Structure 1
Amino acid sequence: MRDLSLLTWKEIKEIDKEKSVVFAVMAPIEEHGWHLPLATDLIEGEYWSKGAMKLIESESDATCFYLPSFPIASASVNEFYGSIHFTMKTTYDVAYGVIDSLCCMGFKNIIVIASHADPLHLIAVEKAVRKINRKHDLCALAPMGQIFMGEGVKMPCDLEVFENEHNNDYHAGWVETSSLLAMDKDYVRDGYKDLPDSVITDRDMISTEKQLSAMGEYGYLGSPRLASSELGRKLNDNCIESIADAVLKFYNRDGYQRYEHYSLYKILPLHIGFIEAFGRVRRKKVTG
């Protein structure tokens, strides 16, 4: 794998575009509780992408490239120190511009890793991918929406059981805390085992007010205290394997359709952010 941004234009011209895969990570800088860094989603996206690239290159004739990550994302909760969010339209424009530029260079296999699970972000990125694929024919895939929804390589049975027992873990809880512990324990602040659970139902996740209420003074949704590096290793491996599976299927143009369309994309109210009157990021002075 190679960093595309470190090549010269002449070197890019000489790349075999048919046998190349280009990764671009898009995720926010945003709060992740008292115990995880603002760059959590970017760290995850980069780690998963590089793990997937190793698998892809070992299992195919593809050569993988990656761009520096883009800290551009949409989100529904904006009221904590450290969070820098953008409108769905801005996220769409950036995703479209990046993919369109790569397509114009001749690349045929462009993978956007939207490693931030907010539906607003995933929809904005997929909307850009859909438009690009109409313009240039099939050349881009954003698989994370469906991977976050449970599509992909089957996870280990013990992890599946644990996830089902502790399933309302949406933001900086045991899932993300475990993920970062497995990557580098220094990412996670001491004291996460002492943090109280923050409980919210999937139904209440549609309400920003209820999310904020559940987050309280901490800024997470779930149970960080349950995290472990062993859980994180299994979670990361499963995500890496799922991304690699999606990309290899896309590269071979066979079976990728299961990853192609985010299942929440068809919920029209989630697209309201593209209407200017409703789509503004309502930034305000943080007082908490």
Structure 2
Amino acid sequence: MIKRSFGRFLRRSGLDLLSPSILLLIAVFVLPLVLLFPTSLHPYIPGQGIGDAWTLENYVAILTDPFYLEIIARTLGLGLFVVVATLVVGYPLAYFLARTRSALRPWLIILVVFPLLLNLVVRSFGWIVLLSNYGLVNETLAWIGLIEEPLQLMFNFTGLIIGLSHIFLPFMVLVLIGTIQGIPQEVEDAAYTLGASKLTVLRKVTLPLSVPGILSGAILVFVLTISALVTPRLLGGPTYQVMSTLIYDEFLSNLNWPKGAAMAFILTVIVLVLVWGAGRVAKRWAEIR
């Protein structure tokens, strides 16, 4: 009887259809984290490896050391700046692609998606060619006469923002296109009929209705940015560290698996808190609207 009732509950809730995906996610993502967590609670003994004792020393060291706190702040700041950059550039582009009726629209969407078809390493090396001291950007600015010495556009915060904004811009645009397309055109037409200008319609009608999509795109880009490894390693170099590159170095260069695992879990907690917070904001916004 209980088994039959449980089966009906699964069918009514749709969990019977989702269960294969849920099991796959648990096996691929959750289980490795669960198995790795005990490692973060052991000390690392140089020359010997992972110790047998249980301790919170790795977490305390990361959350109290100014070096690690600076890297955490830099990583979160990088994610925030990339979100703002992709939103500022991506929203007008997404609005145009969502509302245009031109026959070129499918080709324009292909141009937006096309960078995703290229290897991430190739795109990062492309930005190295553009941003290096004798790259295309500096050479062009010097030729025009705007600069006398090359601008330092690599191995710093600026280079990472430029490279990551370009790489993750398609994700923001694609999310926003779907959101804006879901806003009925009649709503905007009604505002125009009442005498509102295009800027007023965008500010008071389209933008408020697209807030859930903006939040979804922002969280997606933010999470991808703070967890990116290849581009920060290539454009930031070995000395300009963020959380992902530091975790990589702890695991594979220093062989300090406990500290690397602790940093990975701190990054995971940050991501989960942000996703939860964005969900709460989106729900609250829907209630207000």
Place the TM-score, normalised by the shorter chain, in its bin.
Answer: under 0.3
Q: Which has the larger radius of gyration?
A: 2
Higher helix share: 2
TM-score normalized by the length of structure 2? 0.22
Higher strand share: 1
